[in-house]
Amino acid sequence: MLRSGRIDVGRLFGITVGFDLSWLIIAALVTYSLATGVFADPDKLPGASDSLRWLLGGVGAVCLFTSVLFHEFAHALAARQYGVGTRRITLFLFGGVAELDDEPPTPLAEFVIALAGPAASLVAALISFAVARVAGSMAGSEPLVVAMVWVAQINLMLALFNLVPAFPLDGGRVLRSILWWWRKDLLSATRISSAIGQGFAFILLGLGILRILASGSITDGVWLCLIGMFIRNAARSAYREVAWRQLLAGEPVSQFMRRDPVVVPRHISIEELMSSYVQPHRLSSFPVVDDRRLLGVVNARLAAQTPRIEWDRQSVGTLTEPCSTTNTVAPETDALEAFGRMRRGRQPRLLVVEGEDLVGTLTLADLLKGLSPRPS
């Protein structure tokens, strides 16, 4: 299934697995570089045909996909042991990410979850080296040997790079867990490790620019710069999210909710819905009410897909979908819980309900606005 540039390929251990379309760039580059480089070396594969080299290149890209996936699943399964779920694992241009539902509950949990990925990659490297060694004693196994050595090297590099103590790399998360244990303050630990991560990012940016200017290696230089910018942005975002969580914890949803939401009466026609609500407000859905009593929600896209001839004939009530615990919340609910619910369920907006009455709506923007400093 294709969603916003992301393709879901299935579920494993209850976790959705997918890849961003940017991953296809890496797959193509890996296939090309292996077919024209590693597997084109006559000393390693003498007499290899073009078709064999390209086949091995494609197999190498699949092995890279599998290696990164194995690394991320190690994080996810370790997190599960500490009660932290994983929404999905996504592979993208710079590797992969396991989207955890929440921060690890303790420094020890953070430490174990962070090290699980590099440990898995090291195990994969050892297994690949062992397979290559066994295959080396068999006649005609040169392609397998070369491929397995490359897979082992990739997993070793994956483990070592992620162990760099620069947040949000795994090594940076290990550092954060130690600082968290020492200082007894997650926000402070995140601030320090995030600053180190941003410093490492600037080093990569500098090396990339230097490589471009000094050696003219534009591809390598641009790649280092891109990785540096990604790490810097990820480190800053991670710190902001932890800060938001700390500020939201213990605060009720009622403090942040919008008390005058745009609502739709159930009796109006789809024509009036589209002209008087969807076009001026540009929202993806609207609460449907009878007086103040919440009846459900109407999806703007579903309404737009209704045959045009039916717009005057059908009322909004015919398209109303019932509400559930995934898109409703009580005013006294902890804002941090609501924040997590929006992220886990990918809900852009929650309806705040008291009894059967709609008393407000809540979005991530409302939460952030509520946390912004107010003029004195």
Residues serving a catalytic function are 72
Ramachandran area for residue 296 (φ above 0: left; ψ -120 to 50: alpha; else beta) = left
- The alpha helices in 249-331, defined as continuous H runs, are 270-273, 279-281, 300-304
Residues 6+ apart with CB under 8 A from 71: 96, 117, 118, 120, 121, 124, 158, 162
Q: Distance between terminal CA atoms of the chain? A: 49
What number of other Cβ atoms are within 10 A of residue 300's Cβ?
A: 20
Look at strands 86-92 and 15-20 and give their pairing: parallel
Dihedral of CA 205/208/213/218: which sign?
Answer: negative
CA neighbor of 222 nearest in space, from 214, 237, 212, 232:
212
322 DSSP assignment: P
Distances (CA, A) of 299 to 43, 122, 237, 319: 62, 48, 31, 8
Residues 6+ apart with CB under 8 A from 101: 84, 85, 86, 87, 340, 343, 344
What gap in Å lies between CA 119 and CA 174, rounded to an integer? Answer: 13
Distances (CA, A) of 10 to 2, 24, 72, 90: 12, 17, 15, 11
Phi/psi for 96 (5° steps) reads: -150, 165
Give the length of the chain: 376
What gap in Å lies between CA 225 and CA 237, rounded to an integer? Answer: 18
What gap in Å lies between CA 95 and CA 75, rounded to an integer? Answer: 14
